[in-house]
């Protein structure tokens, strides 16, 4: 039998577990693996409280291997929590019963998410960053969490063919090549907060997040985030269409695409297709998300010339570009 104070404490914890399970359903299982892992702490607390069978149900959610298995595990765990809460006594225990102590309170560890920013895009009239989420081999869109020193409003950015020509002339006369930027170079870390889901083509989708507590992490060689092979490919000028951008895999690839056939690709916004159509060559090297038959160009990559390093061109109005560098 459980004493009334212990029953109240246990009911409070079960309510927190039910709320967390509900958040997993809202977030979508593809991006909820890290959050599900935090349930292991709740399962351990339930074992200490003398409820091992309920703990096993909660643990099964954290260990689910896919969306179908996860949905079944979440439904069973939430139902079990509700049944236990409904049967918690509100009166004192009868004589002779051994009281069950309250569960230990433990602070939930806040998981740190790390993403690699690839490029800037426009979605529903606002700027977003396309990012790789390793080692999950997924991609996501991020509301810009930090200002960029060289950033200009998308609407006011000079661009088009004349803008790129001016920058090329500046470089030819020894002008500034531009500072190394974080794209495909630094990591962003913080806590991802799901905001919305957007369809990609007929069968795919991509999620939009914000990033709480965002900060840059300059660890370009850290596994599983290593993209040194990508930079080596650009440096050697031996570009292979379809080559993975990350050694650990993912749908991001270096792809040579035909500028004359933009309808063959999927675009988050018409502005990206317009900037792609203004490329200076018929065959355009890009970093693209490739899943099945879906190809989503995320950024243009220039083949390095003598004295001119490879560059990344963002598919937003103005086509801002940055030097790509593989050094820390």
In a domain, 97, yes or no: no
Q: Do the domain assignments include residue 294?
A: yes
Residue 10: per-residue pLDDT: 78
Q: Are 11 and 49 members of one domain? A: yes
Question: Do both 147 and 256 map to the same domain?
Answer: yes
Q: Which residue has the higher pLDDT, 31 or 211?
A: 211
The pTM of the full predicted model, rounded to 2 decimals, is 0.59
Residues 202 and 305 in one domain: yes
Does the residue 104 lie in any domain? no
Residues 190 and 319 occupy one common structural domain: yes
Instruction: Verify that 75 and 124 share a domain, yes or no.
Output: no
Average pLDDT over residues 223-243: 70
- Amino acid 171: pLDDT: 40
What value does the mean pLDDT of the chain take? 76
Q: 141 CB contacts (<8 Å, ≥6 apart)?
A: 121, 123, 128, 129, 130, 131, 198, 206, 207, 208, 209, 268
Q: Within a domain: residue 96?
A: no
- Is 145's pLDDT higher than 80? yes
Is 91 within a domain? no
Number of domains in the chain: 2
**What pLDDT was estimated at residue 159?**
43
Quote the percentage of the chain above a pLDDT of 90: 19
Same domain, 82 and 118: no
Between residues 119 and 309, the one the model is more confident about: 119
User: What range does the domain containing 53 cover?
Assistant: 4-86
Summarised one tens digit per residue, pLDDT across range 146-169 is 887 554 333 333 444 444 444 443
Say yes or no: 65 and 119 in one domain.
Answer: no
Residues 36 and 164 in one domain: no
182 and 147 together in one domain: yes
Per-residue pLDDT, 152: 39
pLDDT at residue 134 greater than cutoff 90? no
Q: How confident is the model at residue 36 (pLDDT cuts 50, 70, 90)?
A: low
CB 18 within 8 A of CB 84: no
- 107 domain-assigned: no
Mean pLDDT within 26-54: 72
pLDDT of residue 21: 80
Residue 152 sits in the same domain as residue 263 = yes
> What was the pLDDT predicted at 108?
52
Least confident piece of the model among 57-61, 73-77, 97-101, 133-137: 97-101
Do residues 138 and 50 share a domain? no
% of the chain residues with pLDDT over 70: 70
The last residue of one of the domains, among 67, 86, 105, is: 86
The full 3-state SS of the chain, as one line of letters, equals CECHHHHHHHHHHHHHHHHHHHHHHHHCHHHCHHHHHCHHHHHHHHHHCCCHHHHHHHHHHHCCCCHHHHHHHHHHHHHHHHHHHHCCCCCCCCCCCCCECCCCCCCCCCCCEEEEEEEEEEECCEEEEEEEECCCCEEEEECCCCCCCCCCCHHHCCCHHHHHHHHHHHHHCCCCCCCCCCCCCCEEEEEEEEEEEEEECCCEEEEEEEEEEEEEECCCCCCCCCCHHHHHHHHHCCCCCCEECCCCCCCEEEEEEECCCHHHCCCCCHHHHHHHHCCCCCEEEEEEEEECCEEEEEEEECCCECCECCEEEECCCCCCEEECCCCC
pLDDT of residue 212: 92
């Amino acid at each position: 039998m459980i004493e009334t104070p212990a029953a109240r404490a246990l009911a409070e914890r079960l309510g927190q577990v039910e709320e967390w399970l509900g958040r997993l359903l809202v977030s979508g299982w593809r991006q909820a693996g890290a959050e599900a892992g935090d349930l292991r702490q709740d399962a351990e607390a339930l074992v200490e409280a003398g409820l091992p069978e309920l703990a096993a149900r909660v643990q099964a959610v954290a260990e689910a291997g896919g969306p179908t298995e996860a949905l079944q595990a979440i439904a069973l765990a939430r139902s079990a929590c509700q049944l236990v809460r409904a049967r918690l006594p509100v009166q004192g225990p009868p004589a002779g019963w051994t009281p069950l102590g309250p569960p230990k309170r433990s602070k939930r560890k806040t998981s740190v998410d790390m993403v690699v920013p690839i490029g800037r895009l426009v979605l529903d009239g606002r700027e977003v960053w396309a990012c790789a989420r390793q080692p999950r081999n997924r991609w996501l869109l991020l509301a810009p969490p930090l200002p960029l020193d060289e950033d200009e409003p998308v609407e006011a950015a000079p661009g088009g063919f004349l803008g790129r020509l001016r920058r090329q002339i500046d470089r030819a006369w020894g002008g500034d090549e531009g500072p190394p930027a974080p794209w495909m170079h630094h990591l962003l870390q913080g806590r991802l907060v799901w905001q919305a889901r957007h369809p990609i083509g007929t069968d795919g989708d991509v999620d939009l997040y914000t990033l709480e507590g965002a900060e840059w992490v300059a660890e370009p060689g850290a596994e599983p985030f290593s993209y040194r092979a990508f930079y080596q490919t650009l440096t050697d000028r031996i570009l292979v269409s379809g080559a993975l951008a990350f050694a650990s895999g993912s749908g991001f690839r270096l792809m040579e695409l035909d500028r004359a056939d933009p309808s063959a690709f999927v675009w988050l916004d018409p502005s990206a297709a317009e900037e792609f159509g203004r490329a200076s060559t018929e065959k355009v090297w890009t970093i693209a998300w490739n899943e099945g038959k879906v190809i989503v160009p995320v950024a243009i990559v220039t083949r390095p010339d003598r004295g001119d390093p490879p560059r990344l061109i963002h598919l937003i109005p103005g086509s801002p570009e940055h030097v790509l560098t593989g050094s820390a």
